[in-house]
Amino acid sequence: MMMTKSEKKGEEKEPPKEHKSDHIDEQKEEKVVPIKEETFEEKLKTSQEKLLSAMAEMENQRKRHEKEMKEAFEFGGFSLAGESLSIIDNIERAITSFKNDESLKNNKDLKKIIDSIEIVKKDIVSIFKKNGIDQIECMNKKFDPNFHQAMLEVENSTNEAGTVVQEIQKGYMMKDRLLRPSLVGVAKKIEEKKEKK
Protein backbone atom coordinates (compact mmCIF):
# COMPACT_ATOMS: atom_id res chain seq x y z
CA MET A 1 0.00 0.00 0.00
CA MET A 2 1.37 3.35 -1.05
CA MET A 3 1.56 6.28 1.31
CA THR A 4 0.27 9.62 0.28
CA LYS A 5 2.24 12.84 0.62
CA SER A 6 0.10 13.97 3.52
CA GLU A 7 0.78 10.72 5.37
CA LYS A 8 4.49 11.08 4.71
CA LYS A 9 4.33 14.55 6.14
CA GLY A 10 2.69 13.19 9.28
CA GLU A 11 5.58 10.79 9.71
CA GLU A 12 8.13 13.56 9.53
CA LYS A 13 9.65 14.17 12.90
CA GLU A 14 8.58 17.17 14.81
CA PRO A 15 11.29 19.62 15.76
CA PRO A 16 12.73 18.90 19.24
CA LYS A 17 11.07 20.75 22.08
CA GLU A 18 13.13 23.45 23.71
CA HIS A 19 14.14 22.86 27.28
CA LYS A 20 13.96 25.53 29.94
CA SER A 21 17.72 25.30 30.52
CA ASP A 22 18.34 26.30 26.89
CA HIS A 23 16.35 29.50 27.43
CA ILE A 24 18.32 30.27 30.61
CA ASP A 25 21.63 29.88 28.77
CA GLU A 26 20.45 32.20 26.02
CA GLN A 27 19.32 34.75 28.61
CA LYS A 28 22.68 34.55 30.35
CA GLU A 29 24.52 35.15 27.13
CA GLU A 30 22.35 38.14 26.38
CA LYS A 31 23.02 39.72 29.82
CA VAL A 32 26.85 39.74 29.47
CA VAL A 33 27.91 43.37 29.59
CA PRO A 34 30.75 44.24 27.23
CA ILE A 35 33.96 45.42 28.99
CA LYS A 36 34.42 49.13 28.67
CA GLU A 37 37.69 49.90 26.97
CA GLU A 38 39.99 52.31 28.83
CA THR A 39 40.68 55.63 27.25
CA PHE A 40 44.25 56.72 26.51
CA GLU A 41 44.17 59.12 29.50
CA GLU A 42 42.98 56.38 31.86
CA LYS A 43 45.72 54.00 30.65
CA LEU A 44 48.30 56.78 31.10
CA LYS A 45 47.08 57.53 34.64
CA THR A 46 47.19 53.81 35.59
CA SER A 47 50.72 53.49 34.19
CA GLN A 48 51.86 56.59 36.10
CA GLU A 49 50.41 55.22 39.38
CA LYS A 50 52.19 51.88 38.85
CA LEU A 51 55.45 53.65 38.02
CA LEU A 52 55.23 55.89 41.13
CA SER A 53 54.44 52.86 43.30
CA ALA A 54 57.42 50.93 41.90
CA MET A 55 59.72 53.94 42.42
CA ALA A 56 58.55 54.35 46.04
CA GLU A 57 59.16 50.64 46.70
CA MET A 58 62.66 50.88 45.21
CA GLU A 59 63.43 53.91 47.40
CA ASN A 60 62.22 52.05 50.51
CA GLN A 61 64.38 49.04 49.61
CA ARG A 62 67.41 51.31 49.10
CA LYS A 63 66.90 52.92 52.53
CA ARG A 64 66.45 49.51 54.19
CA HIS A 65 69.61 48.26 52.50
CA GLU A 66 71.60 51.32 53.64
CA LYS A 67 70.35 50.89 57.22
CA GLU A 68 71.25 47.18 57.23
CA MET A 69 74.71 47.95 55.83
CA LYS A 70 75.30 50.64 58.47
CA GLU A 71 74.16 48.32 61.29
CA ALA A 72 76.30 45.49 59.95
CA PHE A 73 79.31 47.81 59.89
CA GLU A 74 78.66 49.30 63.35
CA PHE A 75 77.39 46.21 65.17
CA GLY A 76 78.95 43.37 63.18
CA GLY A 77 81.24 42.53 66.10
CA PHE A 78 78.47 42.79 68.71
CA SER A 79 78.52 39.12 69.77
CA LEU A 80 82.34 39.01 69.69
CA ALA A 81 82.47 42.12 71.91
CA GLY A 82 79.99 40.57 74.35
CA GLU A 83 82.06 37.40 74.66
CA SER A 84 85.29 39.41 75.01
CA LEU A 85 84.00 41.07 78.19
CA SER A 86 84.87 37.90 80.10
CA ILE A 87 88.57 38.63 79.37
CA ILE A 88 88.37 41.91 81.32
CA ASP A 89 86.39 40.17 84.09
CA ASN A 90 89.05 37.48 84.44
CA ILE A 91 91.91 39.99 84.40
CA GLU A 92 90.24 41.99 87.19
CA ARG A 93 89.65 38.80 89.20
CA ALA A 94 93.32 37.83 88.76
CA ILE A 95 94.48 41.26 90.01
CA THR A 96 92.18 41.05 93.05
CA SER A 97 93.29 37.48 93.72
CA PHE A 98 96.99 38.42 93.64
CA LYS A 99 96.45 41.40 95.92
CA ASN A 100 94.51 39.37 98.48
CA ASP A 101 96.81 36.33 98.52
CA GLU A 102 98.65 36.34 101.87
CA SER A 103 101.48 34.10 100.59
CA LEU A 104 102.29 36.59 97.78
CA LYS A 105 102.10 39.79 99.82
CA ASN A 106 105.75 39.58 100.87
CA ASN A 107 106.95 38.67 97.36
CA LYS A 108 109.10 41.47 95.92
CA ASP A 109 107.91 40.67 92.35
CA LEU A 110 104.17 40.97 93.13
CA LYS A 111 104.01 44.64 92.10
CA LYS A 112 105.70 43.87 88.75
CA ILE A 113 103.21 41.05 88.07
CA ILE A 114 100.21 43.24 88.91
CA ASP A 115 101.58 46.14 86.83
CA SER A 116 102.06 43.81 83.84
CA ILE A 117 98.48 42.55 84.11
CA GLU A 118 97.22 46.14 84.44
CA ILE A 119 98.98 47.05 81.16
CA VAL A 120 97.17 44.20 79.36
CA LYS A 121 93.86 45.36 80.89
CA LYS A 122 94.46 48.97 79.76
CA ASP A 123 95.21 47.79 76.22
CA ILE A 124 91.95 45.81 76.06
CA VAL A 125 89.95 48.76 77.46
CA SER A 126 91.60 51.03 74.85
CA ILE A 127 90.65 48.65 72.01
CA PHE A 128 87.09 48.53 73.33
CA LYS A 129 86.86 52.34 73.46
CA LYS A 130 88.11 52.63 69.86
CA ASN A 131 85.24 50.34 68.85
CA GLY A 132 82.58 52.26 70.80
CA ILE A 133 82.44 49.95 73.83
CA ASP A 134 82.21 51.84 77.12
CA GLN A 135 81.68 50.85 80.73
CA ILE A 136 78.37 51.87 82.33
CA GLU A 137 78.91 54.17 85.30
CA CYS A 138 76.41 53.01 87.89
CA MET A 139 77.71 53.70 91.41
CA ASN A 140 75.57 56.18 93.40
CA LYS A 141 73.18 56.56 90.46
CA LYS A 142 69.44 55.89 90.45
CA PHE A 143 68.64 52.28 89.53
CA ASP A 144 67.65 52.05 85.85
CA PRO A 145 66.32 48.68 84.60
CA ASN A 146 67.47 49.59 81.07
CA PHE A 147 71.12 49.47 82.18
CA HIS A 148 71.18 47.73 85.57
CA GLN A 149 70.16 44.34 86.88
CA ALA A 150 69.45 44.27 90.61
CA MET A 151 70.98 41.24 92.31
CA LEU A 152 70.34 42.24 95.92
CA GLU A 153 68.98 44.96 98.17
CA VAL A 154 71.28 46.55 100.73
CA GLU A 155 69.97 48.31 103.84
CA ASN A 156 71.54 51.75 103.76
CA SER A 157 70.96 54.86 105.83
CA THR A 158 73.20 57.23 103.84
CA ASN A 159 71.80 56.69 100.31
CA GLU A 160 68.30 57.21 99.03
CA ALA A 161 66.27 54.04 98.39
CA GLY A 162 66.70 52.82 94.79
CA THR A 163 70.28 54.08 94.51
CA VAL A 164 73.01 51.73 93.27
CA VAL A 165 75.43 51.20 96.18
CA GLN A 166 77.29 48.08 95.02
CA GLU A 167 78.62 46.94 91.65
CA ILE A 168 78.88 43.16 91.43
CA GLN A 169 79.74 43.00 87.73
CA LYS A 170 80.48 45.87 85.35
CA GLY A 171 78.06 46.61 82.54
CA TYR A 172 78.97 47.83 79.05
CA MET A 173 77.37 49.69 76.15
CA MET A 174 78.31 49.37 72.48
CA LYS A 175 77.50 52.78 70.98
CA ASP A 176 73.77 53.12 71.76
CA ARG A 177 73.10 49.42 72.43
CA LEU A 178 73.30 47.58 75.74
CA LEU A 179 76.07 45.00 75.51
CA ARG A 180 75.72 43.76 79.08
CA PRO A 181 73.79 45.21 82.07
CA SER A 182 75.58 46.11 85.30
CA LEU A 183 74.85 43.61 88.08
CA VAL A 184 74.22 45.78 91.12
CA GLY A 185 73.15 46.01 94.73
CA VAL A 186 70.44 48.61 95.38
CA ALA A 187 69.92 50.63 98.56
CA LYS A 188 66.75 50.17 100.57
CA LYS A 189 65.48 51.92 103.68
CA ILE A 190 66.40 50.45 107.03
CA GLU A 191 63.25 49.07 108.56
CA GLU A 192 62.61 50.40 112.04
CA LYS A 193 62.01 47.54 114.45
CA LYS A 194 59.25 48.21 116.92
CA GLU A 195 60.19 47.42 120.47
CA LYS A 196 57.97 44.87 122.12
CA LYS A 197 56.56 45.91 125.45
For 156-176, how does the pLDDT look when each residue is reduced to its tens digit (9 = 90+)?
A: 878 888 899 999 999 999 988
Q: Is the dihedral of CA 60, 64, 65, 67 positive or negative?
A: positive
pLDDT confidence tier of residue 105, bands split at 50, 70 and 90:
confident
- For 150-161, the pLDDT digits (tens) are 999 988 878 888
> Does any domain span residue 117?
no
CB 82 within 8 A of CB 180: yes
Q: Are 190 and 156 in contact (CB under 8 A)?
A: yes
Question: Number of helices and strands (H, E) in the chain?
Answer: 5, 6
Is residue 92 assigned to a domain?
no
In a domain, 9, yes or no: no
pLDDT at 89 > cutoff 50: yes
Residue 172 inside a domain? The answer is yes
Identify the pLDDT of residue 154. 87
CATH number, domain with residue 139: 2.30.22.10
CA torsion sign for 69, 71, 73, 77 is negative
Is residue 112, in this structure, part of any structural domain at all? no
Domain limits at 146? 133-191
Q: What is the mean pLDDT of residues 42-70?
A: 88
In angstroms, rounded to a whole number, what is the distance separating the alpha carbons of residues 8 and 56?
A: 81
**Is 179 among the domain residues?**
yes
Residue 197 clears pLDDT 50, i.e. is over it: no
* 184 three-class SS: strand
In sign, the C-alpha dihedral spanning 117, 118, 119, 120 is positive
pTM of the full structure = 0.58
Residue 136 reports pLDDT greater than 70: yes
* pLDDT over 70 percentage in the chain: 77
Instruction: Determine the Cα–Cα distance for residues 34 and 27; give it in Å rounded to an integer.
Output: 15
Average pLDDT taken over every residue of the chain:
81
DSSP strand pairing (148-155 vs 182-188): parallel
The Cβ of residue 187 has, within 10 Å, a number of other Cβ atoms equal to: 21
3-state secondary structure of 192: coil
Q: How far apart are CA 46 and CA 66, in angstroms?
A: 30
Q: What are the tens digits of pLDDT across the range 18-42? A: 555 555 555 555 566 667 777 888 8
- Are 107 and 99 in contact, with CB atoms under 8 Å apart? no
Whether 36 is in a domain gets the answer no
| Other Cβ atoms closer than 10 A to 54 | 10
Q: How many domains, the chain? A: 1
Q: Is residue 123 part of a domain?
A: no
